[in-house]
Chains A and B, each alone.
Chain A
Amino acid sequence: MKADIPGKPGFNFGDAAMVPVRFAMELVDPPLRWLQRTAGLGGMATFFLLPNMLIFGIFVLLPFFINFAYSMTGGAALFLPDRNFVGADQYARLFDCSNYLDPNSCAEDTFWTAVGNTGWFVLLQVTLMIGVSLVTALILNRDLRARSFWRAVFFFPVLLSPVVVGLIWKWILQRQGLLNFGLYGLGFEPHAWLNDRNWSFAAAVGVSIWAHMGFYTLILLAGLQAIPKDLYEAAEMDGTKPTRVFLRITLPLLAPNLLVVIVLVLIRAVQIFDEVYVLTGGGPGTSTLFLTQYIYETGFAAQLRNPGLAAAASILMGAVLVVLTLLQLSLGRSSEKKGDRK
């Protein structure tokens, strides 16, 4: 076969690029055919899934089981074989409470404070994040001037490292920060935002929304743009009110994207740590101490570490995340089925 010369008529870059691919395919074809004959079609599926399963097994399942094993041990030693088996003692210690709503009545009061804080944080952050992301996506979906610029503006914080996010906001909100500087300049009294329990919690919620909403807005924006325009045109011709259009067309057709966003936001909210740790350090007091920071401090940062207790707390947190995810997925499936029946 005579090869075409680049720059001359008849040369096709696509065909040229395919040459090594075809060569590789011819190379793997005989062993794959042999494998298919030997293992059958079902076996081939397993074969192709094996690398992923292996990675999942090594990096997710194995650490999970090791963590579970740690949660059944006590002592200060780090290595599993050096630790003594204590059964469910660490779990019993976490659940040793006379009133779960009053952390002070619990043996591990800090754990329950962290659970309570995380619960409130999830409730507030997920609700506000969905709301803000949806509104932003709806606005960015309209024919705005410099729409690409605005999209970039909202997406930019997503590119920042959580530590950078935490530091930026700390410089703004601390006692001698930019916000107080501005307030003082306008004649207002400065306020110690990060030393005030309510304000520091609000700051934790706000900063995490600011840092991540761009990502969720993008997902929702993609969903909005996939909704056929003719549906809106038909609604307009029928004189349907905008609220009804939103509730009857936009929201149902956006439901799959919304579900993805809810699951992602929920998981991330339960796992909140880095930016808040840098921003408030869990303070004032323990008002912004969340579960992941409790686990980190108990297992790694405390002057006498307790890896068993930290592992037990992380297993419980993992269990909550699994339940929440399964709940969301089952809700999603049932809404899909309803959609199919209609």
Chain B
Amino acid sequence: MSKTSTMLTAFAVGLLASTAAIAGDVRIMWYSDGVEGEVLKDLLARFMKDNPGINVVLDNVAYGVVREQLPVQLEAGDGPDIARVTNLKALSQHWLDLRPLVADAAYWDKNFGGQADWMRPDGSNQISGFMTQITLTGGFANKTLFDQAGVSLPPKDATWDDWAKAAKEVAQSQQVPFPMALDRSGHRLTGPNLSYGSNYIGADGKPAPLDEGAKNFITKFVGWVADGTMSKDVWVSAAGSTYRAGADDFINGQLVYYYSGSWQVPNFSTKIGSNFDWVATGSPCGSANCSGMPGGAGLVAIKYTKNPKDVAQVMDYLTREDIVKEFSERTLFLPAHKGLLEKGLDFKTDDEQAKAALNTFVASTSSLSDVAQKLPGWFWSDAFYGALVTRVSQAAAGELKLDEAFSRIDADIAAKVKDSGVK
């Protein structure tokens, strides 16, 4: 009897000890495009020093894990306590409402309120998290190649056609494999679609059929892939909605013009260095406007956490103005913090090209179309993007005619709406 009691007591003590260890743990699932993981680790080490009762565990994972595995974990009522995600709206039912938990909800509303709707369920005033960076899609040109070819860079209000013509001329002169590339992503394709007057959102708030604006740019784009103006390696090289970036080709000097986004600036600054000169160009114009697409990654609290108060404390720390300032200046990310944006930042880099590029992106925010501002907080964005990538790449590969691709895009989106069960 005494042996059994001893064993039970030992088991109970063990159990208590293990739960006590879990009580102060806050796990963050994080992915990095550049050096931000290292910077965050540094900032969290300071937080833990000041808050010894909270142990923050930073799990650095690949972006694919966040995109493909996190949603499954969340559906299972599992997952980390905090996660850095880009799929903010579609998964918003899994985010924790930090409003009653944070020290000063008004501070959050004032400084991060602009993007709060991107990451909360429609119709709520929930505080789910904050944007670790605000991004904007836009182009980059290899200035050295332009200079060597004797072709001048198209002006600020140049159209996609102007850029295609100039990039082609440079590529031919400099023997570069591809004049242009655009990331294999529905989000990236959306910027130019909007510039040609597209509006994805129907009158009822659900996806509208593909309109003339989108069809016009997609027709141009597929033609450019076919005639070699756009890199085939990026769009034709995969099936489905798989993401592919053209950044490596640009870094290696194999591309004249690359349409991606502001998150590439630190990447280019580190990897291109002094190999060649490059400039950010903003978004080329279409027939309607010169819009890029805003977006970014948000750090959100997960509602299945066992330690909501600790999570809120970590989030309060990471949204402090001085912390956001340090994080943004060291990572070269555009912050979401309104107060900080008004005061300005001093990016920690000696690279004048990177500084100029960041300023170009900040200036480009003024040319965003109304639809572009709405899309990050629109529930059906991902359904639209997925169908665009899948079908446009099939058209680019010559598997589908353009008309077939357009009707397939509409059918795919309609099927997604039906499958979701949302009325």
Residues of chain B at interface, number, CB under 8 A: 40
CA distance A205 to B219 in the complex (A): 33
CA distance A107 to B254 in the complex (A): 40
Q: Decide yes or no: A282 and B242 within 8 Å by CB, A78-B72, A302-B386 being known contacts.
A: yes
Residue among B237, B386, B396 with max Cβ neighbours from chain A (10 Å): B237
Return the CB mask of B392-423 against A: 1 if under 8 Å, else 0: 01101111100010001001000010011100
- Chain A's nearest CB lies how many Å from the CB of B407? 10
A74, A77, A284: the one within 8 Å of B75 (CB) = A77
CA distance A284 to B238 in the complex (A): 6
Docked-complex contact B420 and A285, CB < 8 angstroms: no
CA distance A319 to B11 in the complex (A): 48
- Chain B's nearest CB lies how many Å from the CB of A67? 15
CA distance A197 to B239 in the complex (A): 12
Contact of A306 with B by CB under 8 A: yes
Count of CB-CB pairs between chains A and B under 8 Å: 106
- Chain A's nearest CB lies how many Å from the CB of B384? 9
CA distance A174 to B252 in the complex (A): 15
Residue among A174, A176, A192, A303 with max Cβ neighbours from chain B (10 Å): A303
CA distance A175 to B67 in the complex (A): 28
A192, A286, A301, A304: the one within 8 Å of B420 (CB) = A304
Docked-complex contact A303 and B237, CB < 8 angstroms: no
Q: Decide yes or no: A194 and B383 within 8 Å by CB, A303-B87, A304-B419 being known contacts.
A: no
A74, A194, A293: the one within 8 Å of B237 (CB) = A194
Docked-complex contact A285 and B394, CB < 8 angstroms: yes
- Chain A's nearest CB lies how many Å from the CB of B228? 11
Docked-complex contact B72 and A285, CB < 8 angstroms: no
Contact of B162 with A by CB under 8 A: no
Docked-complex contact A288 and B237, CB < 8 angstroms: no
CA distance A340 to B382 in the complex (A): 63
Contact of B241 with A by CB under 8 A: yes
Q: Which residues of chain A in 262-292 are interfacial with respect to chain B, using CB atoms and an 8 Å cutoff?
A: 280-289
Docked-complex contact A303 and B383, CB < 8 angstroms: yes
- Chain B's nearest CB lies how many Å from the CB of A138? 38
Q: Decide yes or no: A303 and B419 within 8 Å by CB, A283-B393, A284-B236 being known contacts.
A: no
Contact of A300 with B by CB under 8 A: yes
Contact of A104 with B by CB under 8 A: yes
Chain A residue at smallest Cβ distance from B389: A303
Docked-complex contact A75 and B397, CB < 8 angstroms: no
B239, B241, B383, B393: the one within 8 Å of A293 (CB) = B239
B238, B241, B398, B399: the one within 8 Å of A303 (CB) = B241
Docked-complex contact B386 and A304, CB < 8 angstroms: yes
CA distance A76 to B239 in the complex (A): 22
Docked-complex contact A197 and B397, CB < 8 angstroms: yes
Chain B residue at smallest Cβ distance from A285: B397
Question: What are 10 of the A-B contact pairs (CB < 8 Å)?
Answer: A74-B421, A78-B76, A84-B421, A283-B237, A283-B393, A284-B397, A301-B240, A304-B386, A304-B420, A309-B419
